[in-house]
A and B are shown apart, each in its own frame.
Chain A
């Protein structure tokens, strides 16, 4: 899946970039729906993560 495909599937849900799981790898996080995505260099979705808010490293 590409980043464009992700945006289409999640239809303008608000997101922000943040680290997950105590790493500084930036994930595009959709806090309202509990999903985060790590995008690869070719703008492909490398990982989709279902995550609890307590594991976001910025919180």
Chain B
């Protein structure tokens, strides 16, 4: 359990260091011994928060699950509507798939907005994903 915590929680938490101290004490009595702190830090895989919104800049953003009515008041009606209600917004380099709410937001060009997945917890580190 401690090893799982050390693998999945951010090493930036103060609890991570305390967790490692506890882990060291517990596994010192184990025949397999302890994994070194550096090894556990290297194997650390912090989970990311769900990404549900796209920041369009200028104080505008759209969110998966947002009602079309609310979103259209923010970004306007798209110029084209495909039969599957895939709506293209070339000014934002994205498409949305919508019924009465936004079901999917598709970033598909070099000028598309960036996504900034954030780690779960209070840590401030970010992973960055952008179309290039």
* A interface with B by C-beta (< 8 Å): 1, 5-6, 9-13, 20-22, 32-35, 45-52, 54-55
* B interface with A by C-beta (< 8 Å): 45-54, 64-65, 84, 86, 97, 103-108, 112, 115, 117, 127-132
Q: Known contacts being A47-B106, A49-B105, A50-B54, is A9 close to B129, with CB within 8 Å?
A: yes
Main secondary structure of the interface of A (DSSP, over half): mixed
Q: A32-B48, A35-B115, A48-B108 are in contact. List 9 more A-B contacts (CB 8 A).
A: A5-B129, A9-B117, A10-B117, A13-B48, A22-B84, A32-B47, A50-B51, A50-B106, A52-B104
Q: How far is the CB of B29 from chain A (nearest CB, A)?
A: 31
Main secondary structure of the interface of B (DSSP, over half): loop
Do A52 and B103 touch across chains, with their CB atoms under 8 A apart?
yes
Residues of the B chain whose Cβ atoms lie less than 8 Å from the Cβ of A12:
45
Do A33 and B106 touch across chains, with their CB atoms under 8 A apart?
no
Do B50 and A32 touch across chains, with their CB atoms under 8 A apart?
yes
A54 to B50, CA, bound (A): 15
Do B48 and A50 touch across chains, with their CB atoms under 8 A apart?
no
Question: Which of B49, B86, B105 is A33 in contact with, Cβ under 8 Å?
Answer: B49
Question: Which of A5, A32, A51 is B103 in contact with, Cβ under 8 Å?
Answer: A51
Q: How far is the CB of A57 from chain B (nearest CB, A)?
A: 12
A32 to B50, CA, bound (A): 6
Q: Known contacts being A21-B84, A47-B106, is A13 close to B64, with CB within 8 Å?
A: no
